Structure 1
Amino acid sequence: MGNTFNWHREAEKQWDGRAGFWSSRSEYMWAEGSRKSIIPFLKEYLPAGSEVADLGCGDGFGSQLLHQEGYRVCGVDLSKDMIEIAKERMEPAKLEFIQGDITALPFEADRFDGIMAINCLEWIEVPVKGLEEMKRILKPGGKLCVGILGPTAKPRMNSYPRLYGEEVICNTMMPWELKQLAKETGWNHEGGHGVFKEGVNEKQIQSLPEELKKAVSFMWVYVFTKK
């Protein structure tokens, strides 16, 4: 009998293997690339001094930027190797990094004022469990800033082998699906914006309705409020 596929164990193993590659690119992504608009967007909804959980924090560069903006930050990632890199390169005296599962977080209920979760819900076997756990650790009225890969994002290829019946660790979803899932699990939608690939003329798409903008997005970033 073959080994039973274990999503959690396989995801941890694969992200451990990607830790070095990810760390080599993360600074560019946050400073100039696809993630540069996220923290300025979050600041519109969450005041400095708030306590924020950075879920799927990777090597911690986004956590560091949040800290520099005046937030109290705890970074969480499934990958042990990612957390080790984060602890080595960041400011351990001022930032906390924990290895953990987003569907079973090691925090008491109603602890955090805000959550940043960028491109991590796609890597959960049952994404609704992640949303429910995020809601549990947020205070009432707390803000969730969550990014989901759009239709034009190449990383969605991680889920492509499922069409051949292969086991994958990427749960591809569309931005509109996340918005609907959040509505059905008790979140209020506050706002959102798109991130687009180079070559997309944003002036040309400004007049499009939101759903058509999402159709050409690399990533869509939402803010939801816990009811």
Structure 2
Amino acid sequence: MTVLAPLHFADPREAAALAAFLTRLVHYDRAAAVRLQAGAGALAVFGRPPSFEVLAIRTARLADPVDLDATVSAGELLDGVEEDAGKAAVPAAVTGPPWAGVLPPRGGWTPVPGLPGAPALRGAVAAAVAEFRRRDGDLPEERRTRAERDRLGREIWSRLLGTTGLPLRAVHAAQSLGFLPPGEVPVALLAAGPWLRLRTPYGSVALRTAPTGLSVAPAR
């Protein structure tokens, strides 16, 4: 078995941020896998929380140049993060899930106008959560099934934000993963081919606007 050299981050805070991101991914899926791509002094970590139908991306600056492209267990990578030392051990590669072979492009992104600011985005998520709870509570007992709740969630979280083409579930994912914390946070919406990417200083979520063959699960 090939033993990969540990990743050394340019700042120990990068290790802590990566650990927080991995903790959230594992919260949604204990068997989560992440794809790692490193080059030119930077690391990109891709994950797919199952409830949101998006790819989550966290980047970090590396102290040393590393050439790496591997899919690994998110839990094992989390176990290998040493926040005080600012480094992370890279676990053995695993067989990647289908999404790991369909990643957004590295370049060619252009701005998409019309995205509200961070407070409005968080407000839209809060309103959607409140609507789901209210409508779920109004369901008669005979209709309070998983299928009906999935249908309701799909209806609410698939709504688009204005003219941007970005579904609300992407904003919900960004907030749930810690990419849209309270306060004034710079946000941008970018497009490249069939991909949309919601980017903040804390991470990004990306999704394809064309069919990919990936399974669909509504976020709640």
**Shared fold, TM over 0.5:** no
**Higher relative contact order at CA 8 Å, sep ≥6: structure 1 or structure 2?**
2
TM-score (norm 1): 0.27
TM-score (norm 2): 0.28
| Greater C-alpha Rg | 2
